[in-house]
Structures are given as C-alpha cells and as structure tokens.
Structure 1
Amino acid sequence: MKSEKEKMITGEQYNPNDNELQKDRRRARFLARSFNIICESDEEIRMSLLKELLGSTGESVHVESTFHCDYGYNIHVGENFYASFDCTILDGGRVTIGTNCIMSSGVHIYTNTQSLKVEERIMGIEYTKPVTIGNNVWIGGRAVINPGVTIGDNVVVATGAVVVKDVPDNVMVGGNPAQVIKLIK
C-alpha cells in the first residue's frame, strides 16, 4: 500500500494532513525561514540551507529572500538559476527547472490542486501535477505557473501572466490566460 507521500509525488489523490507530510512541511518551513533570515553576505550558509531544502541544484544558484515552498525536496533547479524576491513554489508534485532560468519577483509555481468534486474538497483531498520549465527561460514578475504546465526552452513569460497550458519553445507568452504574443528567433 502506498504512503500518502508516495501518492502525492505520483499525482494520485492524497491526504495532505498525513503525519509524515505535516512533518515534511514543518521541515521545509524551518529551512526556508532560516534561509530567509540569514544575511545575504553569509553566502555559504545560505547556499548550504538551500541545498538542504531543495531536491537538487546546479552549482550556480541564487535565490533572494523571501522564498517559500511546501516541501522543497520536489524542486530541482539547473545550473545558473536565479529567483528574485518573494517567489513561492508549492511543490507537492515535482518541479523541474532547466539551466539558465530567471524567475522575477513574486513568481508563483503551483503543482497542488483540488478535485472539482465538492465532497472531495470538503474532505481535504488533493492531488498534484508536475511542472516542467525548460532551459533559458525568463519568467516575469508576479507570473503564475499552474499545475501540470510544461514550458519549453528559450521562453519569456510576461509579467503578470497566468500560464494554464503548455508553452512551446521559442515564444513569448502573456495575459490571463497566457497566450503566445510572439515568436522569438
């Protein structure tokens, strides 16, 4: 029988109030809070906390405070990753971010979602859909990436965009819901 954590990670319906998941969220919040209050000049300590929090990172990773996440261990970022102030990643499901990616201030990435059935929402049942972001992607401030979205390589997501469906390579998207604005050569 699968644990609630295993169900969460594989996208099956799960109970987020499970004791193991509550413990994991407390751990992530402790590490994120510790990271957020450490002075930026203490780069070694900040990087150590970030590497303990996240599932995997490249060598060159820079995240500004404040940063928030649910679990941390489901977030995997590539080389040369930068996240500006006030970014949030709800990572019940896997979040994979490629190399040379920039997240501007206030970007939110969500993998967690609820059922359309009211009875299941009342019971607190959730499920997750992974988010994948390709290489060389720039996500503008206050953009929102929704559960299950894949963003291709060399993409620009405009400020304030709400991305609800997959984005192909080499385009700029914007709006709510986000749509292709132009091709990038």
Structure 2
Amino acid sequence: MSRDFDYERMLAGELYCAPDISPKNSSMQGKKLVQQINQLPIDKVDEIIDLEKKLFGKTGETVYVHPPLYVDYGRHTEVGNNFYANMDCVFLDVNKIIIGNNVMLGPRVCLYTAGHPTDAEIRNKELEFGLSITIEDNVWIGGSALILPGVTVGKNSIVAAGSVVTKDVPRDTLVGGNPAKIIRTLGELDRKKWSIEEKKYFEAKNKVL
C-alpha cells in the first residue's frame, strides 16, 4: 500500500484516515506558517502578505487576509486577485478551496471542506472525507457565515451574515439563513441604486478636497 494512499483519497473526496497520512504530506507546515502570521505585529503588513502568499497554494497579486486566520493545510487553498478576508476566518482545506477574483470574506467566515460519516461506529474509527469548495468571482460572504463541504457559490452572489450554506448558490443571487435559501436575484436595480450612491459619494468628496 502506498504511503500516500490516505492523502490521495482525501484530495479525491473519498473516505480516508487522517492519522495514516504520510508525514511528508501532513498539515504541519501550513499550521506553522499560520502561527508565524498570527504572531506578527499587525502593522507589518508586507511581512504578513509575504507569508500568506507562501501559505496558500496559489494567490493573485493583491491578497490580504487579516490576522488572526486559521487553516488546516493552507496549500490546498487557492485565491484569485484582489482577495480580502477579515479577521478570524477559517480555511479548513482538507480538500481544495478555490476562490476567484474580487472576493471578500467578512470576519469569522468559515470554509469547511471536511465531513464525517453519519454512522457513529465508522466515524469513531477516525474515517472522514472532504469535498471541495468553490467561490467564484465577485462574491461577498458576510461575517460568521459557514460554507459547508462540496458547495459552489456562483459569480457575483452574496451570502448574508450568519448563513449556513449547505447547497450551491446560483450566480447573481442573495442567500441567507440556516440553511441558506435564496432571498432574491441581484441585477439592474442594484446597479442603479449603487451607481446613484457612488455618484453622490464622489460629488460630496470633491466638495471637501
């Protein structure tokens, strides 16, 4: 049996035994990097960003995750350009977490790829599984929202604060609740409203500059 048998099954979304993962594929490196990040003075922004780019499997040019943050592996998470996450976010990435461009996470957002068997006897044998999470471009996830294993959040969508997302979210949609349900579609009315507010903002700003 390959020493990487359980690690390969973990990334394939199959049942695996975490204690049997080979040491060379363990999550320790990511946990050490996170510990370094969380212990840095908060004004050492460039150092924090450099370590976060080492932590994640892939990143875009503009990335900032406000410490403290928490990961399982770190390298199984890939983020696009212009990514921002507020403090206390959790990336439980036993399987892949793929995040697109222009994504924002509020404080204490948790992305959980890990799952466990519903049968107690099997669960107690330390057998578990993980399903990937995908967050597409231009998504905003409100504070304390939970994204559960296997979920895709579609482009331009918003997840309301405190939501528990158990199913895929269609693009251009606002969802909320526990379990999260569709509240409404996002579209032209939102663009008109916020275009007016944006214009008012710049008009007011120009008066005082």
What is the aligned residue count? 185
Identity over aligned residues, as a percent? Answer: 38
Unaligned runs of 5+ in 2: 188-209
Which residue in the other structure is 1:15 paired with?
A: 17
Structure with greater helix percent: 2
Q: CA RMSD in A?
A: 1.4
1:172 matched residue in structure 2: 174
Q: Secondary structure at the match of 2:144?
A: coil
- Distance in 1 between the 2:144 and 2:46 partners? 28
Alignment CA distance shift 1:159-1:22 (3 Å): farther
**Shift of residue 4, structure 1, vs aligned partner:** 1.3
Q: CA deviation at 1:155?
A: 0.4
**In the alignment, what sits opposite 1:112?**
114
Q: Could you tell me which runs of 5 or more consecutive residues in structure 1 were left unpaired when the two chains were aligned.
A: none
Pairwise mapping of residues 44-83 of structure 1 onto structure 2 (< 5 A)?
44-83=46-85
Q: 1:52: Cα distance to partner?
A: 1.4
Letter of the structure 2 residue corresponding to residue 135 of structure 1 = D
Contact 2:6 2:21 in 1 (8 A): no
Q: Which amino acid aligns with 2:26?
A: D
Q: Deviations over 1:46-72 (max 9, x none)?
A: 122111111100010011011001001
In structure 2, what is the equivalent of residue 153 of structure 1?
155
- After superposition, the Cα gap between the structure-2 partners of 1:19 and 1:150, relative to the gap in structure 1 and judged at 3 Å, is closer
Q: Which residue pairs with 1:89 in the alignment? A: 91
- AA in 1 matched with 2:76: N
Hey, what's the Cα distance between the residues in 2 that align with 1:77 and 1:19?
A: 25
TM-score by length of 2: 0.85
Further displaced range: 40-49 or 7-16: 40-49
Aligned equivalents of 1:76, 1:19: Cα separation in 2:
22
TM-score (norm 1): 0.95
